[in-house]
Amino acid sequence: MKAWHKLSSVTFGLLLAGCAGSLTAVPANPARQLCEQISGNFSNVAQIDALSPSVSRKPVRDGDWIDQQYGRFVTFFNPVFGSCSVFLEWRSPDSEGSVTRRRVWSFDTADERVTMHFYSFRDESAFSDRENWHLALAQLSPEQLVSYPPGCEVSFAQVAERAWLGRLNDVTCRTTAQRSGKEIALGADIEVSPGKLVYRERGRYADGTPAFMVPGTASYIFLKE
């Protein structure tokens, strides 16, 4: 997990498609388009309000659960991390709640698909003050991050205008769990559309035993504020 994997180079070019006798330009950099579309503040409060009483509002070991999350997604440009990147911070249950995760999602274009590499932080202290985020991100280096092995890239396919489906394949993404030291396969599904982000992740051990599922039922449905 600590190995640094160089990101793919961006494929530049203008793709033209004929439509009703005219030419329509397709954005030259879909990775950047997707990256910038994610930028903003999101929450799943509408999903929580509509939950059945049988679904727990906090994580439980057994049974269905979805907890309330507030996500800040900040676009930044740092040449070390591909064409466009997003720093994300999730808090629960709202914008002033406890931090539940901080990550970097880095987007690039490879083989006509958008690829996302994801990273966690070795030390998150530089991001405790939101006033310093942009400076910290501009100075961010690979040594500050924990990366994941080859095969742990999220592959996005564009399914409609400004609509994307991303998948982390738990057949190819295998790493070592930091706490248990066991081999673990990671998977995730991400859907991005205007004003909406749907997210779910999972892990399983080498023998097929589930390690985790977040959330514990369905997926997080984040709506842009």
Domain boundaries, given as residue ranges, for the chain: 15-224
pLDDT value of position 139: 93
Residue 84 structure tokens: 């466009």
User: 85: closest CA among 38, 135, 128?
Assistant: 38
pLDDT value of position 217: 87
| Triad 220, 72, 159: Cα angle to 5° | 55
The dihedral through the CA atoms of 108, 152, 39, 129 has a sign that is negative
Mean pLDDT taken over the chain: 87
Residue 201 CA to residue 60 CA, distance in Å, equals: 16
In which residue ranges of the chain is pLDDT below 50?
Answer: 1-26
| CA 107 to chain centroid | 10
pLDDT value of position 28: 64
**Residue whose entry in the numeric block shows the structure tokens 């793709």:** 15
Specify the pTM: 0.84
Q: What CATH number labels 15-224?
A: 2.40.128.590
Residue 213 CA to residue 186 CA, distance in Å, equals: 10
Give the model confidence (pLDDT) of 8-46 as tens digits.
333 223 222 333 333 334 456 899 999 999 999 999 999
